[in-house]
Amino acid sequence: MSSRSDLLREVMLETGTSQSQLSRVSGVRQSSISQALSGKLNLSDDQLERLLSCMGFRLEVVRRRVVPELTRSERRSWLLHRRLSTHLTRPRLESWRPQVERNLGRLRDGVSGQPHVRNLGRWEVLIERGDLPGIHRVLTGLDRDSIGMREVSPMGGLLPQDERADVLGLAG
């Protein structure tokens, strides 16, 4: 898939539109168009759509589901943390806090190197702030950042043993 800057450049070439012409018709500063074309300014889909429409084109964004490629360990961790996420409420987080803080201390003593040390710090901030949406994102996210955060998860020992066994049975 072309980058936004490549797509803008292709349409400008196809329509014979210069940066200054596009600037005049769109109301976008020429310097901003130049930065977008060079990749120094990252256009949003809405901004790109606006510029393309000035040249007689529309932007089509295709979204589709993608099954992520996870290792067996990453999948097991995700399933366990996802189940834990079903229990996460503000009162539950407060009741978990002593165990989570003990786990954080134990992890802090045993972990070295990046990104683990940084991710522990991020966990500490999430827990300290009581950031439920942020914690849910880390517990259930399939992006590489969330997977990395779960590698140093302070959530061990919180899931009831029967649920843990059920989840691990599903994980295979």
CATH for 32: 1.10.260
Residues 76, 29, single domain; the answer is no
**Domain span holding position 40:** 4-53
- CA–CA separation, 14 vs 69, rounded Å? 38
The verdict on residue 109 lying in a domain is yes
Residues 164, 114, single domain; the answer is yes
Count of Cβ atoms closer than 10 Å to residue 133 Cβ: 7
The verdict on residue 62 lying in a domain is no
Residues 117, 160, single domain; the answer is yes
User: What pLDDT does 48 receive?
Assistant: 95
The verdict on residue 138 lying in a domain is yes
Residues 37, 98, single domain; the answer is no
Residues 32, 107, single domain; the answer is no
pLDDT mean values, one per 10 residues, the chain (172 residues): 85 97 94 94 92 95 90 95 96 97 96 94 97 96 95 96 91 72
Query: What does pTM read for this prediction?
Result: 0.67
Is the peptide bond prior to 115 cis by the omega test (within 30 degrees of 0)?
yes
Residues 116, 36, single domain; the answer is no
Residues 86, 18, single domain; the answer is no
The verdict on residue 31 lying in a domain is yes
Q: How far is CA 1 from the centre of its chain?
A: 20
Residue whose C-alpha is closest to residue 57's, from 7, 18, 20? 7
The verdict on residue 119 lying in a domain is yes
Residues 77, 41, single domain; the answer is no
